[in-house]
Amino acid sequence: MSEFFLEILSEEIPARMQAKAANDLKRLAESGLKEAGLTFDSVKTFVTPRRLILVADGLPDRQPDIREERKGPKADAPEKAIAGFLNSVGLSRDQVEERANPKGNVLFAVIEKDGSATAEILPNLVSDSLDDLGWPKSMRWAPADMTWVRPLRGLTAIFDGSVLDFDLQLGASDEIGHVVIEASAEAAGHRFHAPDDFAVADFSAYQKKMRAAHVMIDAGERRALIETRANELAAAEGLALIDDPALLDEVTGLVEWPVPLIGSIDPQFLGLPPEVLRTSMRSHQKYFSLQDKDGKFADRFILVANIDAKDGGKAIVAGNERVLRARLADAKFFWDQDRKKSLASRTPALEKMVFHAKLGTLAQKVDRVAALAAEIAGVTGADTCHAEAAARLAKADLVTGLVGEFPDLQGVIGRYYALADGENKDVAQAIADHYSPQGPNDACPSVPVSVALALADKIDTLVGFFAIDEKPTGSKDPFALRRAALGIIRLIVENGVRLRLGDILDKADALHGATSTDPDWNHDTAPVIDFIAERLKSHMRGQGARHDLIAAVFALTGEDDLVRLLARVEALRVFLEGEDGANLLVAYKRAANIVRIEEKKDSATYEGAANPDLLEEKQETALHTVLLKAEENVGKSIAEEKFVGAMTALAVLRLPVDAFFDHVTVNCDDQKIRRNRLLLLSQIRSALDSVADFSQIEG
């Protein structure tokens, strides 16, 4: 069994594309090997900023030989049929066999094909894999016809110790002729430390020589080294690294030989908000931020160099500190200039900023959100004036210089400017919080004013884009409406907000109509409720809840108070997990099926109360009595929002229902009695459906 090793050397691959490229190459190689009939023990891939590496172990030297028998027509079949068969198998008449059959001799073709050498198969397999390797963005470099994420520089391909007869045809031009990158047994190390080619015989030798040439091919090893060394540097200064897994992943993809170093922030910039400092260092320079033992932002940072400098990195640190000073000088300029004007004085500029061509300006959105926030404030426990004031100021920082420089800080910067203007602290916090939560793992606001404003902003967005038919489709959601819906759900559920969604969505649509140029603006917001319901099912399913129970509560009651809905769902779940609930569900489905079948057969509807004077059997009389009491208790419990009590009231139906089905014949000869018993079954259905639509419950 042999090893195949491949390295594709290129210019720097963007960090965000590296992991997927390695996984895709592994998948394509495994698929190609299986399709070629080549077994293997393992296929592994590695990626660095400059190289994509694959190693396949345990490959056979050849494909297995193939022997295939193919049955044809009868030996005395028409010549045309026989000729077609011979043509399909590529054999002549004397090369096929005749075999006896009870119905006459039949032609059989025995096709034997020798397996090809693995070394002959691999070039096409590699070529196909590289062609099928999709990049989010790719480029063509003159005179190449081939596209790749970045220009290719080298190709190392070795099978069983020998160079694979393989090359990449890049293209041709009249000036320089045909351009080809031929496979070789040579590789190059680190761009600066070891740029010269060196020979490799196999993957093991390649790994050792690469490390000696200042290249760590394993991304996991590079990541661990960066994290460990960064923590050590921070600890030596009495500081701690601020956790940032995404930045750690990105930096891992930027270096082949990571060397973490520590630098200092110029004291003149420490008056800037920590978020500005961190964003400037993180987004522009890929630096890690540090904090002291009290959690305060520290005046140091960690950078990761890609070379092992002879001076221990002093010049690298000094150069990075100089670049950071320039970055932060710009930020400080905007910070100082912005504070010369109050946040409120900037709001007129929103009249010139379009939110969406069909939904008006940002100033119009602010008007709508302010009205909605004031409406919602009552149910979140927020001060109405504070909620409206926060809405009026929430978008004002979009016209500041600092947010123009750091768009990710919108809202955050508004909070600082609002506090500097002397605004109420809850108002200022709401400005920072109103974009949140922006995902399932983002912190959810809990301050009442923040909750009111965040809900109003998201509801306005969701209703508006649904009204202009800009709904999410498949994987496309350009306006992040799924995220907005999830944000609405989390704000309501996690804060226990008792909000009638239908009413507030209608209010939002009416506010859109007031600012729209469309005189006939008036939309049904039911699709928005349905959309939120689907997101709720998905969200709760991720937390282990049953989506069918959510659907059952939604479907029957039209429930749009999410807090009450989930309380019903939980009570229903507990009930159905018990023996009484499980058996009653079976009885419900039996009763509902009988009624449905008989309604279809009779072309009639059986709804309403059974007549007690027509009850003959003691079991149906007992069921009727318990049903009336259960209906009364269920209705009372639901009105008082005691959903566990409603389920307990339903549980008493189990034994009478069982007894009814055991002893009473529904479809008796007396049509009056039959109809009355169908009405009794219909009452069972109605009693359970007053809690949830049991027909939507699985099992």
pLDDT digits (tens, 9 = 90+) for 219-267: 999 999 999 999 999 999 999 999 999 999 999 999 999 999 999 999 9
Cβ contacts of residue 597 below 8 Å, gap of 6+?
none
Cβ contacts of residue 222 below 8 Å, gap of 6+?
48, 216, 252, 255, 256, 258
Is pLDDT of 586 > 90?
no
Q: Which residue has the higher pLDDT, 46 or 180?
A: 46
Closest by CA to 239, choosing from 299, 281, 303, is 299
Q: What is the pLDDT of residue 172?
A: 60
**Is 472 in a helix, a strand, or coil?**
coil
**Burial class of residue 186, CB neighbours in 10 A (0-12, 13-18, 19+):** middle
Question: Which residues are paired to 167 by β-bridges?
Answer: 182
Kindly tell me the sign of the dihedral angle through the C-alpha atoms of 558, 563, 564, 566: positive
For residues 68 and 39, what is the distance between their CA atoms, to the nearest angstrom? 20
- pLDDT digits over 36-74, tens only? 889 999 999 999 999 999 999 999 998 887 777 788 888
HEC string of 303-327 equals EEECCCCCCCCHHHHHHHHHHHHHH
- pLDDT digits over 370-429, tens only? 999 999 999 999 999 999 999 999 999 999 999 999 999 999 999 999 999 999 999 999
Q: What is the pLDDT of residue 548?
A: 84
Q: Are 223 and 231 in contact (CB under 8 A)?
A: no
**Burial class of residue 472, CB neighbours in 10 A (0-12, 13-18, 19+):** middle
DSSP letters spanning 556-583: HH----HHHHHHHHHHHHHHHHSHHHHH
Give the residue-averaged pLDDT of 569-590. 85
- pLDDT digits over 490-527, tens only? 999 999 999 999 999 999 999 999 888 888 788 899 99
Q: Are 403 and 413 in contact (CB under 8 A)?
A: yes
Q: Are 259 and 216 in contact (CB under 8 A)?
A: no
CA 420 and chain centroid, separation: 38
For residues 418 and 594, what is the distance between their CA atoms, to the nearest angstrom? 66
Is pLDDT of 315 > 70?
yes
CA 511 and chain centroid, separation: 32
Q: What is the pLDDT of residue 6?
A: 95
- Pick the range with the lowest mean pLDDT from 81-95, 378-392, 665-679: 81-95
Closest by CA to 688, choosing from 621, 595, 560, 561, is 595
**Is 600 in a helix, a strand, or coil?**
helix
Q: Are 290 and 239 in contact (CB under 8 A)?
A: yes
Domains of the chain: 2-62+118-212 (3.30.70), 66-113 (no CATH), 219-338 (no CATH), 344-544 (1.10.3210), 579-696 (1.10.730.10)
Kindly tell me the sign of the dihedral angle through the C-alpha atoms of 601, 604, 608, 610: negative
Closest by CA to 252, choosing from 54, 47, 467, is 47
Is pLDDT of 173 > 60?
no
Cβ contacts of residue 548 below 8 Å, gap of 6+?
696, 697, 698
Q: What is the mean pLDDT of the chain?
A: 90
